[in-house]
Amino acid sequence: MEKFETFTGVAAPMPAQNIDTDKVIPARFLKTIQRKGLGKNLFNDMRYNTDGSEKEDFILNQPAYRNSEVLVVGDNFGCGSSREHAPWALSGFGVKCLIGTDFADIFFNNSSKNGMLLIKLPQDIVDELMEDASLGANARLTVDLENQTITRPNGEVVKFDVDPHKKHCLINGLDDIGLTMANKKDIDGFEGKDDMSRPWMPSTAAK
């Protein structure tokens, strides 16, 4: 997993509430177990007509937002089924951060494990950032995870809270496997001692 670093990117406004994971990535695209390549299907039914042409009024099809790295979203984004393909599709499009008042729990956790930062803020602040995101090409926010700040286009700085464990994993690029492998020396040491104390039952690593 790539390390999450401070960046400045275009923010797109998506104020609709209860955008579920089937809207984020429809079920017919879930046949793959590959994390890459799903960006083209992000918001597929909202983004394309039945003939495959783009819907001009969809926010991410508009020239200013085609390369958006931040989404400012409505309440309960990511509700519905627990598909991990949803954060894969968002990440594949280039989204690094979502900002809203609340997110569905499973989606929230899946996103952080796939390198995306989800920020929860009070409604009045989200409303202000939603207005910023409506500025088109000028809708640029700077997200600094280390200092837990968002810098608005007008220079105002917004502070946000983040779980310390999620912050550590994102900054260091650690998914669940990476987090485990960070303790490889201790794991190997334990298995070595265990093998010596129970030679009749060698560890999996020794087999």
- Residue 191's Cβ-side half-sphere holds a number of Cα atoms within 13 Å equal to 12
Q: Judge whether 32 and 41 are in contact, CB under 8 Å.
A: no
pLDDT of the residue at 53: 97
Question: Tokens for 36?
Answer: 């890459």
Determine phi and psi for 149, rounding to 5 degrees. -135, 150
Q: Judge whether 133 and 12 are in contact, CB under 8 Å.
A: yes
pLDDT of the residue at 137: 83
3-state secondary structure of 12: strand
Please report, for the chain, the start and end positions of each structural domain, with discontinuous segments joined by +: 7-162, 175-207
pLDDT of the residue at 197: 74
Rounded CA gap, 73 and 99, in Å? 6
Confidence of residue 33 (pLDDT cuts 50, 70, 90): confident
Q: Tell me: the pLDDT tens digits for 77-112?
A: 999 988 899 999 999 999 999 999 999 999 999 999
Question: Tokens for 142?
Answer: 């700077």
- Nearest residue to 114 (alpha-carbon basis) of 95, 128, 127, 131: 95
Rounded CA gap, 128 and 79, in Å? 24
Q: What angle do CA 135, 139, 140 make, to 5 degrees?
A: 165
Select from 3.90.1510.10, 3.30.67.10, 3.40.640.10, 3.20.19.10 the CATH code of 7-162. 3.20.19.10
pLDDT of the residue at 52: 94
Question: Tokens for 175?
Answer: 């998914």
Rounded CA gap, 44 and 24, in Å? 7
Q: Tell me: the pLDDT tens digits for 153-189?
A: 999 999 999 999 999 999 999 876 556 555 666 666 5
Q: Tell me: the pLDDT tens digits for 36-82?
A: 889 999 999 999 999 999 999 999 999 999 999 999 999 999 999 88
Q: What angle do CA 109, 115, 116 make, to 5 degrees?
A: 70
pLDDT of the residue at 37: 87
Q: Judge whether 101 and 158 are in contact, CB under 8 Å.
A: no
